[in-house]
A = this chain, B = another copy of it.
Amino acid sequence: MTEPVDFYFDFISPYAYVGSTQIDAIAARYGRKVNWRPVLIGITVLKIMGLKPLPETPMKGDYLRHDGPRMAKAFGVPFRQHGFKGANSLAACRSFLWLKAQDEALAVRFAHRIFKKLWVDGIDITPPESVAEEAAALAVDTQAMLAAIATDAGKKALNEAVDHAIKVGAFGVPYVVVDGEPIWGCDRLWMLEHWLAHGTWDGAGTAGLAKAAK
């Protein structure tokens, strides 16, 4: 099969960041493309699932703070825990969709810059101006971009993306759908790799353990 792999992400998630550094290479090993799909995971978690944000959830929040840097280490990517409370990705996600509509590869380059800005450089991505800086570095017309994401059409595009993500069950990020199989979490990229390589779940876990031992 050669359908693209759907990659649901939100810039505010450290796990989506780690996943974003791996997803294209994994898919490319099997001749697959990746469809990058931004979501506002806070909307899903709060409004649809009725839960607290992960960092504020007792016990789980502590685990997250220990686990983020650890997962980055496991995948060999730089990571810095930022201290922003209430950082949000509204402008970044709307901008991503505006860019994607014109040039998908450019949008992905932009996404990598936004992830790096928040999770490596530790700079807030909430202000539209902060988002625009990364687009400017890619020679994007940022005035047009900032104007576009403030329009009803710019807002609607992201709302529809969030609705779609909810429809396919993306309750957390990263959330990958490959050949109809949903896979949640950057700690499950081994499942994606196994599926793409073998097209079955049979023995995926035990084979993984035997290999991790080496």
Which residues of chain A (161-214) have a CB below 8 Å from chain B? Answer: 166, 169-172, 181-182, 184-191, 193-194, 197, 201-209, 211-214
Interchain CB contact under 8 A, A71 and B205: yes
Residue A48 lies at the interface, judged by CB distance under 8 Å to chain B: yes
- A interface, size bucket: 35 or more
Copies in the complex: 2
Chain B's closest residue to A189 (CB) is B209
Interchain CB contact under 8 A, A212 and B188: no
Interchain CB contact under 8 A, A206 and B75: yes
Per the bound structure, the CA–CA distance linking A16 and B110 in Å amounts to 40
Stretch at the interface among A50-58, A85-93, A95-103, A143-151: A50-58
Dominant SS at the A interface? helix
Stretch at the interface among A5-13, A59-67, A121-129, A131-139: A59-67
Residue A80 lies at the interface, judged by CB distance under 8 Å to chain B: no
Per the bound structure, the CA–CA distance linking A214 and B212 in Å amounts to 12
Of B29, B73, B185, B214, the residue contacting A201 (CB under 8 A) is: B73
Interchain CB contact under 8 A, B52 and A52: no
Of B51, B197, B209, the residue contacting A193 (CB under 8 A) is: B209
Which residues of chain A (1-41) have a CB below 8 Å from chain B? Answer: 18, 22, 26, 29
Interchain CB contact under 8 A, A206 and B74: yes
